[in-house]
Amino acid sequence: MDVSLSRRLRPGLDSRTRPAHRLLRMAIGIGAATATLAGLVLAPAPSAIAQDDERPPALYDETVLHELHLRFDRSDWGGYVNATRDVAADLELDGIAYPQIGVRYKGRSTLNIDSPKKPFNLSLDAFVAGQEIDGYDIINLDNGYLDPSQVREALSYHVMRDFLPASKAAFARVFVNGEYLGLYTMVQQVDRSFLREWGPSDEGDLFKAEPYRDDAFFEYRPTLEWEGEGLEAYRRRYELKGPPRSEAEEQAAYGRVRDLTRVLDAPVSAGGVSDDQFPEAIRSVLDVDGALWYLAAQNLLCNFDSYYFGHNYLLYRSEVDGRYSVYPWDLNLSLWGYPFAFFGPSTPDALVRANPLQAAGDRGLPLISRLLAVPRFRADYLAHFRSLRDVGLEPERVSTVVTGYEALIREAAREEPFSLHGFDAFEKNLRENYRMRTGAGFFGSRNVPGILSLTADRYAWLRDQATEPGLVEPDLRLATHERSPETPTPEQGATVSATFDGAEQPAGVTLVFRVDGGVPTDLVMRRDGAQWSATIPPQLPRARIRYFLRAELPDGRAQFHPAANITQAWRYRVEGLTLPRQGAGDLVINELQADNESTLADEAGSFDDWIELYNRGTAPVDLGGYYLSDDEQNPWAHTLPEITLEPGAHLLVWADNAPVEGPDHAPFRLNRRGDTIFLATREAIVDEIAFEEQPADRSFGRTRDGADEWRGCYEPTPGGSNRCTGFDSAPVYLPFGVVGR
């Protein structure tokens, strides 16, 4: 092919896929444009935005049939790849080469299939440090196990992402050593890139809720039940993900999971909380609203192979607010039920009528039963369920997305040499039920629901339900919403006002806001005639505020504005602040470490960045009114503890973005590639230091305590006298207002 012509054609987009590509863009656009609910306007998916045809498509552009080639240096790759270690291979994705990535099999039951079309995990940086695509270094290739339609995962993630944190997904034709292996779904890994996208921090405890052994599944189902004080029971149920940790760090992480289950499920005699104390206690350790969205989505989409069955979900504890979030994972059995007849609804007819409050009384599933026993949480769950139903399951929207997927991947499914179900099953199951074997022995064969028939019938059944008042959508529309001022200064609060119209009016309205991803705060709004209002208090410079309204009707139903209160909350940012410089005084920044791998652990056993302060004067210094920051426009990011620092004394502050761990933990981290740290009062910046890239387990400090010259330190001395005379590291910053000492 002519090179100029090949560059004009987008990689992976040939004459067979271009019409489908256009159709799916139209489908997503139609769904986005027509779906509205209580002020919610679904934004076009990123993939629906036209791209430069000379650039490769985004990794998770679901409107493109990607083309992925793996090349191993051996022909017997099928027996060489396994699930325990990365095997090197070269990757070409949409015409771009990525050398020496890591390949391994993934999953459990899916590995037992008698087919080369097994699921893969691709690690782009396994052998080439820093290698990534669009900021992602992991790609999961799911093989459509037990899904004849091959679109269940992509559709389910597509529906969820409008309302709650969920992975991205797209389709790819996968080739190995030049041979077409089959059609796969590419699914975004829940890792640091995911956490950065959905939250204020990518550091914390991430657990996969799976028993540690296949044969121990029913004995060690991770249902968030209280398992006693010993940590081994939690290790058997929850797999700690991420880089290796010290034993002390692991113990602390599993201890925090135990403490979550203590609040959620333990009897009062074991440190649990009573029913009247439970709502406040659980909100301090769990993102309750996010958990309710998660449960509503799994129920609506009949994904009972999830927390409902005691696995296939992820737990993440943010170091910013100290609370756990629940994230969906492994959705190949959504809109399917569960193939084991002894658990939950599994036939197509039963799935259509699956109870939105299923398991609400099952104490073996405390995330459901304990949360839904609280009237406010139950009302919120049903409000989220209605939003998902009325937009995510709306038949026209589902149909446009599914038929767009079908046009995109039809030929790839037809040409599969190792299809797990066959092309006839693919064609039929998109619309109709399909009978297939689900396993050997007594499992036998099962009727897999047709996607379009199930979603349409379930939507109609749920809309017709009058037995559960919580499923009836209120006639409560938001007429006006205003904020004054639009962008407040650090000295100003933001007054939010709203009015409602429709046949119903709220009995009360609550404004819920979060600052920089912290714990949500409720403000009861005041009513003056038809207007409701409340004022968010003044916040730190450059603080990011997200907020939404929760309206409660006289009958107890709740309505959120925006309806997608997590993904489309209103937001603003406080103006920045510029303080004058002032000559360095007695209290100074004395030493810092930006890459602490083994120098010193904090009280939780974590090796985190740290900043050391020093009183170089002759009189005590009251630290009340002093602040540390890594942002010049937000000099008050971290308030120092109100203690007195004696002459010649040191104070260590952990820069770990974990303020919930105590007053000596700052809400920021140091960048080992270079950063600037500021010490300030309310009136001025009184000290600052800029540094370049730092080596591991070395520090940067004054040559002696309180001196003006800075150097690199072979021997970090956190909390002790500086010995920074080791390697030559000329200061990149000459302190302002230097006072001779």
Q: Which two tokens stand for residue 84?
A: 């325990």
The gap from C-alpha 113 to its chain's centroid, in whole angstroms, comes to 31
Q: Which residues contact 10 (CB under 8 A, 6 or more apart)?
A: 51, 53, 56, 57, 64, 94
Return the minimum-mean-pLDDT range out of 80-84, 98-102, 609-613.
80-84
DSSP H helices, 301-374, are 348-352, 366-372
Position 449, amino acid: P
The dihedral through the CA atoms of 371, 376, 382, 385 has a sign that is: negative
Residue 340's pLDDT band, with cuts at 50, 70 and 90, is: low
Q: Which residues contact 446 (CB under 8 A, 6 or more apart)?
A: 339, 341, 346, 435, 436, 437, 438
CA dist 229 and 321 (Å) reads: 24
Q: Which one is predicted more confidently, 109 or 278? A: 278
DSSP letters along 87-106, please?
Answer: EEEEEEETTEEEEEEEEEE-
The DSSP output letter for 587 is E
Please report the pLDDT score of residue 695 as a whole number. 93
Q: Which residues contact 601 (CB under 8 A, 6 or more apart)?
A: 246, 248, 249, 607
Residue 212's pLDDT band, with cuts at 50, 70 and 90, is: confident
Return the minimum-mean-pLDDT range out of 53-57, 116-120, 259-263.
53-57
Tell me what the pLDDT averaged over the chain comes to.
Answer: 89
pLDDT for 544-593, tens place per residue?
999 999 999 999 999 999 999 999 999 999 999 999 999 889 999 999 99
Return the minimum-mean-pLDDT range out of 206-210, 391-395, 468-472.
468-472
- What are the chain's domains? 3-193 (no CATH), 194-388+466-470 (no CATH), 475-573 (2.60.40.10), 587-713 (2.60.40)
CA dist 495 and 492 (Å) reads: 9
- Please report, in angstroms and rounded to a whole number, the separation of the first and last CA atoms in the chain: 73
Q: Which two tokens stand for residue 453?
A: 């028939």
Question: Are 21 and 61 a contacting pair, CB within 8 Å?
Answer: no
Percent share of the chain, pLDDT over 70 = 88
Please report the pLDDT score of residue 109 as a whole number. 64
Please report the pLDDT score of residue 465 as a whole number. 80
CA distances from 266 to 279, 359, 571 (A): 14, 19, 37
Return the minimum-mean-pLDDT range out of 266-270, 465-469, 480-484.
465-469
pLDDT for 369-388, tens place per residue?
999 999 999 999 999 999 99
CA dist 6 and 13 (Å) reads: 11
CA dist 455 and 463 (Å) reads: 12
Question: Are 157 and 303 a contacting pair, CB within 8 Å?
Answer: no
CA dist 577 and 542 (Å) reads: 8
CA dist 359 and 361 (Å) reads: 5
Residue 15 has pLDDT above 50, yes or no: no
Query: 3-state class of 225 per DSSP?
Result: coil
**What angle do helix axes 288-300 and 375-387 make, rounded to 10 degrees?**
50
Span 170-184, average pLDDT: 98
CA nearest neighbour of 194 among 72, 318, 295: 318
CA nearest neighbour of 81 among 95, 57, 52, 101: 101
Question: Are 39 and 565 a contacting pair, CB within 8 Å?
Answer: no
pTM of the model: 0.89
Q: Which one is predicted more confidently, 244 or 527? A: 527
How many residues appear in the chain? 741
Query: Peptide bond before 244: cis, by omega within 30 degrees of 0?
Result: no
pLDDT for 274-298, tens place per residue?
999 999 999 999 999 999 999 999 9
The DSSP output letter for 729 is -
CA nearest neighbour of 121 among 146, 143, 99: 143
Residue 32 has pLDDT above 60, yes or no: no
Burial class for 416, CB neighbours closer than 10 Å (0-12, 13-18, 19+): buried
pLDDT for 435-457, tens place per residue?
887 654 445 678 899 999 999 99
CA dist 152 and 129 (Å) reads: 34
Residue 65's pLDDT band, with cuts at 50, 70 and 90, is: very high
Query: 3-state class of 496 per DSSP?
Result: strand
Show contacts of 272-276: CB within 8 Å, 24+ apart. Answer: 272/226, 275/373
Q: Which residues contact 648 (CB under 8 A, 6 or more apart)?
A: 614, 615, 616, 705
Span 484-488, average pLDDT: 98
Return the minimum-mean-pLDDT range out of 57-71, 103-117, 199-213.
103-117
CA dist 212 and 357 (Å) reads: 30
Question: Are 308 and 171 a contacting pair, CB within 8 Å?
Answer: no
Q: Which two tokens stand for residue 19?
A: 């019409």
Please report the pLDDT score of residue 171 as a whole number. 98
Residue 199's pLDDT band, with cuts at 50, 70 and 90, is: confident
